[in-house]
Chain A
Amino acid sequence: MTATLVYGLAGSVLVGVGLYGFAVRRHLLRQILAFNIIGSGLFLLFGALARRTPDGTSDPVPQAMIITGIVVAFAATALAEALAERYQELTGRTALEEDSKPAPPDEQESELRG
């Protein structure tokens, strides 16, 4: 069992765990965490892929992807956290309602503008 394989398997397990959590959990924080777990798993996978060159040197492209991916995941997490926190402040809820009807508009909007 090579190191690459260990990394690859570990990454896959993380992705699986994350996907499960993402699909099953309703708490917003848990869903965001699940997304991060999937992300970590994927980065591990990419890292493992970087090691699979024939001459044993590492491939720089997946590493560049990992770095970019981490930045993207960080931004997404930050946005999701901010939204979830504000949502919880306004409604007291930590999970979305099942029903997803379009909400009525802000009826005061035009009056605010006078």
Chain B
Amino acid sequence: MVEITNVYAGYGGKPVISIPYLSFKAGEITSIIGRNGSGKSTLLKAIDSLIQYTGSITADGMEIAGLSHKERARTVAYLPQTLIPVRLSIRVLVSHGRYAHTGISHRLSSKDRAMVDNAMELADVYTMQDRWINEISGGEVKRSYLAMVIAQNSRYILLDEPAAGLDISHQIMMMTILRRLAAEGIGVVITSHDTPLSLTYSDKVCMIKDGALLAVQAPSEIEASDAIMRKCIGYGIRTNEDEAALYKYRLEK
């Protein structure tokens, strides 16, 4: 379990988020929702020790900031929202996911290569593994980086807006992959502006406004406490009655 206790984090000494207590369980998908600038990305960066913070952030009882770089990478993986279309083949990029698992020469073992293959298959980039990241579409770039993070085989995966920029079928595919990872026992934490999508696929929703935690609820409980959701994103949420609808939830004025 990732536990965040009395955390203040921000940039240039100015706190953006203030969280008394929050936890993410392994084997679950937790969505962090909130408006632009509410502190969603800052929270993920603090968990991955990318920014300075005060307080405590632990993973399975270990202070994440106290881990070595490689131990931290084996514990927590993080994918930022903006990904660089590097001049590398997809296979090489995904292989970088094994960086924290390899020795000083960083030579991949047959087990590492099998994990890279498996990650590429899961993210649906296996058949295009020799293509270059700077020559593929934005959605394919995102899936390639997701494969890299999967190959990293960390116990917790933090994804900043993983479905943004993907077409609808790949959005569903992305969330299905994340569900599969959660079923394998990995704790998945995502930020998302697409509330119906994230509610449909999440076990828990964490609502943030102006850096403060409003509530943590299961999607099924949110409709009953509609006011909190309205305070968080400005709209209410309703269960979709239409069974043919793509998502289980819909937004309401």
Query: Do A and B truly interact?
Result: no
